[in-house]
Chains A and B, each alone.
Chain A
Amino acid sequence: MNIEELNARLVESSEEGDEHIGDLLQYLTFIMNGEEYGVDILSVQEIRGWEKCTSIPNSPDYVRGVLNLRGTIVPVIDLRVRFGLANAEYSAVTVVIVLKLKQDDKDKIMGLVVDAVSDVHAISESQINVSPDLGDNQNSEFITGLGQVGDKMLILLDLNNILD
Chain B
Amino acid sequence: MSVDLSQFYEVFFEESFEGLDAMESELLDLQPGTPDSETINTIFRAAHSIKGGSGTFGFTSVSEFTHVVETLLDQIRDGQRLLTQNQIDLFLQSVDCLRDMLGALRNSEEPDTQVSGELKAAFEQILNGGEDSQQALTSATESEPQPEAPAGNAHWSISLKPGIDILKTGNEPIFMMQELAELGKTKLAIDVSKVPTLNAIEADNLYLNWQIELESGCDEAAINEIFDWIIDESDIQIQKVESAQSAGEGNDSFDVEAESVAASASTNEQTPESKQEPEKGEEPQAVEPPSGTDVKAAPAKKETPKASTESSSIRVSIDKVDSLINMVGELVITQAMLNQLTDGEFDRDKLSSIQEGMAQLAHNTRDLQESVMRIRMLPISFVFSRFPRLVRDTSKKLGKQIELVLKGESTELDKTVMEKISDPMVHLVRNSMDHGLETPQDRLAAGKDETGILTLNAYHQGGNVVVEIIDDGRGLNTDKIKQKALENGLIKDTDELTEQQINELIFEPGFSTADAVSDLSGRGVGMDVVRRNIQALNGSVELESRRGEGATFTIRLPLTLAILDGQLIRVGEHVYIIPLINIIESLQINPETVNNVGGEYDVLRLREEYVPIIRLHQVFNHESESKKLAEGLLVVVESDNGKVGIWVDELLGQQQVVIKSLEANYRKVDGISGATILGDGTVSLIIDIGGLVKLAGLRKAVRVNALANNQAAEAI
Partners in one complex: yes
Interface positions, chain A 50-95, Cβ under 8 Å from B, are 53-59, 63, 65-68, 71-75
A interface footprint on B312-334 (CB within 8 Å = 1, 0 otherwise): 00000000000000000000000
| A149 in contact (CB, < 8 A) | no
Q: Which of B208-216, B421-429, B505-513, B665-673 lines the interface with chain A?
A: B665-673
Do residues B683 and A57 form an inter-chain contact, with CB atoms below 8 A?
no
Q: A73 touching B619 by the CB < 8 A rule?
A: no
On whether the beta carbons of A75 and B666 are closer than 8 Å, the reply is yes
Name the residue of chain A whose CB is nearest to the CB of B687. A57
Stretch at the interface among B176-184, B279-287, B656-664: B656-664
Residue of A57, A58, A63, A65 most packed against chain B (CB within 10 A): A57
Indicate if B340 sits at the interface (CB-CB under 8 A). Answer: no
What residues of chain B lie closer than 8 Å to A9, measured between beta carbons?
none
Q: Is the CB of B664 within 8 A of A55?
A: no
Q: Is A130 an interface residue (CB 8 A)?
A: no
Q: How far is the CA of A54 from the CA of B684 in the complex (A)?
A: 7
A141-164 vs B: 1/0 string, CB under 8 Å? 000000000000000000000010
Indicate if the CB atoms of A56 and B660 lie closer than 8 Å.
Answer: no
Please list the residues of chain B having a beta carbon within 8 angstroms of any beta carbon in chain A.
574-575, 619-622, 660-662, 664-667, 669-672, 675, 677, 681-685, 695
Contact in complex: B665, A75 (CB < 8 Å): yes
CB neighbors of B among A106-144 (8 A): 108-110
Q: Are A54 and B683 in contact (CB under 8 A)?
A: yes
In the complex, are the beta carbons of B669 and A108 less than 8 A apart? Answer: no
Contact yes or no, A163 B683, CB < 8 A: no
- The docked-state distance in angstroms from the alpha carbon of A75 to that of B664 is 10
Most A Cβ at <10 Å: residue of B620, B660, B665, B677: B665
Asked if B670 and A56 sit within 8 Å, CB to CB, the answer is: no
A70 shortest CB reach to chain B, Å: 10
CA distance A56 to B672 in the complex (A): 9
Main secondary structure of the interface of B (DSSP, over half): loop
Q: How far is the CB of A143 from chain B (nearest CB, A)?
A: 24
Main secondary structure of the interface of A (DSSP, over half): strand
- A8: min CB distance to chain B, Å: 24
Considering only CB atoms, which chain A residue lies closest to B620 in the complex? A57
Q: When A53-B683, A55-B574 are in contact, do A108 and B665 touch as well, CB less than 8 Å?
A: yes
Do A59 and B665 touch (CB < 8 A)? no
- How many chain A residues touch B (Cβ–Cβ < 8 Å)? 21
CB-CB nearest in chain A for B682: A54
Contact B670 A71 (CB under 8 A): no
- By beta carbon, the residue of chain B nearest A77 is B666
Min CB distance B230 to A, Å, is 56
CB distance from A110 to the nearest CB of B (A): 6
Docked Cα-Cα span, A58 to B621, in Å, equals 6
Q: Contact: A57 with B684, CB < 8 Å?
A: no
Nearest Cβ distance between residue B195 and chain A, in whole angstroms? 37
Q: What are 24 A-B contacts with C-beta separation under 8 Å?
A: A54-B683, A55-B622, A56-B666, A57-B619, A57-B622, A57-B671, A57-B685, A58-B620, A58-B669, A58-B695, A66-B662, A66-B675, A67-B683, A68-B681, A68-B683, A73-B662, A73-B666, A73-B683, A108-B664, A108-B665, A108-B666, A109-B665, A163-B666, A163-B667
Contacts of B622 in A (CB 8 A): 55, 57
Across-interface contacts of B683 in A (CB, < 8 A) = 53-54, 65-68, 73
- The CA-CA distance from A66 to B661 in the complex, in Å, is 11
In the bound assembly, the distance between CA atoms of A56 and B667 in angstroms comes to 11
With a cutoff of 8 Å between Cβ atoms, the chain A residues found around residue B684 in the complex are 54
Q: Please, which residues of chain B bring their CB within 8 A of the CB of A65?
A: 683
Query: Which has the most chain A C-beta neighbours within 10 Å: B660, B667, B695?
Result: B667
- The answer on a CB contact under 8 Å between B682 and A68 is yes
Docked pose: A75 CA to B685 CA in angstroms: 13
A57 near B662: Cβ-Cβ < 8 Å: no
Cα A53 to Cα B677 in complex, Å, equals 12
| Residue of B with least CB distance to A55 | B574
**Which of B574, B575, B621, B660 meets A73, CB within 8 Å?**
B660
* Chain B residues closer than 8 Å to A72, beta-carbon distance: 660, 664-665
A53 cross-chain contacts in B, Cβ below 8 A:
683
Q: Which of B574, B621, B661, B666 has the most A CB atoms < 10 Å from its CB?
A: B666
Q: How far is the CA of A155 from the CA of B143 in the complex (A)?
A: 83
Identify B621's interface contact among A57, A68, A109, CB under 8 A. Answer: A57
**When the two chains form their complex, are residues B664 and A73 in contact, meaning their CB atoms are under 8 A apart?**
yes
List 13 additional A-B contacts (Cβ < 8 Å) besides A68-B682, A72-B664: A54-B675, A55-B574, A57-B620, A57-B685, A58-B669, A66-B685, A67-B683, A71-B660, A72-B660, A73-B660, A73-B677, A108-B666, A110-B666
Complex CA distance for A141 and B614, rounded to whole angstroms: 41
Which residues from chain B contact A109 at a C-beta distance below 8 Å?
Answer: 665
Report the minimum CB–CB distance from A96 to chain B (whole Å).
14
